Amino acid sequence: ILGLGPIWMSQNEKAKEKAARLLKEGAIFAYGLSEKDHGADIYSTETSLTPMPDGTWVANGEKYYIGNGNEAEMVSTLGKIKDGTDDYTFFATNFRHKAYELKKNVVSHQEYVSNFALHDYPITEDDILSRGSHAWDCALNTVNVGKFNIGPASIGVAEHCFYEAITHASNRILYGMPVTDMPHARKNFMDAWLRLVGMKLYQRRASDYFRNASQNDRRYLLYNATSKMKVTLQAEDVIDLLWEVISAKGFEKDTYFHMAAADIRGPSKLEGTVHVNIQLIRKFMQNYFFNPAEYSPVSPDFSDKDDLFLFNQGPTRGLGKIVFHDYKPVFEANKGLPNVAAFMKQIDIFKEMLEKAGPNEAQDMDPSWSLPLGEMFSIVVYGQLILEQVGIGRVDLDIVNQMFDFMVRDFAQFAMQIYGNHSSKDAQRDYCVKIMLIKAVPSPEQYNSVWERYVSVLNGEYAMNE
* DSSP H helical ranges for 122-182: 133-146, 150-170
pLDDT band at residue 462 using 50, 70 and 90 as cut-offs: confident
Q: In whole angstroms, what is the distance from residue 234 CA to residue 241 CA?
A: 10
CATH code of the domain made up of 150-452: 1.20.140.10
**Digit-coded pLDDT (tens) for 228-254:** 889 999 999 999 999 999 999 999 998
Residue 273 banded pLDDT, cuts 50, 70, 90: confident
pLDDT for position 403? 98
Domain boundaries, the chain: 5-139, 150-452
Q: Can you tell me whether residue 459 is helix, strand or coil?
A: coil
| Rounded-to-integer distance, Cα 8 and Cα 1, Å | 10
Per-residue pLDDT tens for 292-346?
999 999 999 999 988 888 888 888 888 889 999 999 999 999 999 999 999 999 9
pLDDT > 70 fraction of the chain, expressed in percent and rounded: 99
pLDDT score for 271: 64
Structure confidence at residue 272 (pLDDT):
64
pLDDT value for 40: 77
Q: CA nearest 96: which of 27, 46, 34? A: 27
Coil vs helix vs strand at 160: helix
Residues 6+ apart with CB under 8 A from 453: none
Whether the predicted pLDDT of 274 surpasses 80: no
* Per-residue pLDDT tens over the stretch 151-161: 999 999 999 99
pLDDT of residue 79: 97
Backbone φ and ψ for 216, nearest 5 degrees, come out as: -95, 0
Percent helix / strand / coil, the chain, rounded to 5: 55, 15, 30
For the structural domain made of 5-139, what CATH number should be given? 2.40.110.10
Total-model pTM: 0.93
